[in-house]
Amino acid sequence: MKKESELHVEKDEEHLLLDHNYDGIQELNHPLPSWWSFLFYGLIFISGVYFFYYQFMGGPTLRDEFFKEYAVVMKAQNEANLANKTFKIERYKLINNTDGIKKGEEVYTNNCLPCHSENAKGDIGPNLTDKHWVLAKSTPETIYNVAFNGSEENGMPPWGEVLTPEEIYFAVAYVSSLKNSFQKGKAPQGEFIED
């Protein structure tokens, strides 16, 4: 019977047995598979080429790549802003219904209420229920443009940077539904416009 401490080497592995012995432990020299060696040395070569290219041949830095990708993103964002900046009457007509006005009331309550008060009767911002208009000219198109672009000098933020165009259309539908409802609130401001 063989002891556990005795060396056991298969016949087909005897040629792999190395000469050294550590505390009764002998080592077999199993060579790495050729595909592994090829991959290992190939990656070393590729990393050398990579290092040489980026360090000595003017390869783009992370900063260069960031600015290149950022320019693409900014271009796409500017194109989207230009497309959304323009009021589209067809889109407005699809939204200007009972359901759209209800959604517009939610958008108004969440974003416009602090300045224009309940029912758009005015607070910091003007009363939107009378026939006087400070920036817009009472039409959905001009209301949309003011809401989307804002007016820094009048304290109106550009909601196009915060809200989606659809949300702005909803808010415009709600504000338009209150037009000429003459809510008791802030005194008339701006230009009188007869519808």
In DSSP terms, 191 is beta-bridged to: 133
Q: Which stretches of the chain score pLDDT less than 70?
A: 1-8
What distance in Å separates the CA atoms of residue 133 and residue 127, rounded to the nearest whole number? 8
pLDDT score of 181? 84
Task: Map out the domains of the chain as residue ranges.
Answer: 87-192
> Is 108 in contact with 115 (CB distance < 8 Å)?
no
Kindly state the tokens that stand for 166: 């659809």
Kindly state the tokens that stand for 138: 């009472």
pLDDT score of 169? 94
What distance in Å separates the CA atoms of residue 28 and residue 19, rounded to the nearest whole number? 9
3-class state of residue 132 by DSSP: strand
pLDDT score of 3? 58
Domain 87-192 belongs in CATH node 1.10.760.10: yes
The DSSP H or E segment spanning 118 is none
**Alpha helices (H) along the chain:** 34-56, 62-85, 89-95, 98-111, 113-116, 140-149, 165-178
> Is 187 in contact with 120 (CB distance < 8 Å)?
no
Kindly state the tokens that stand for 52: 């040489």
Identity of the residue numbered 147: A
Kindly state the tokens that stand for 53: 């290219």
3-class state of residue 25 by DSSP: strand
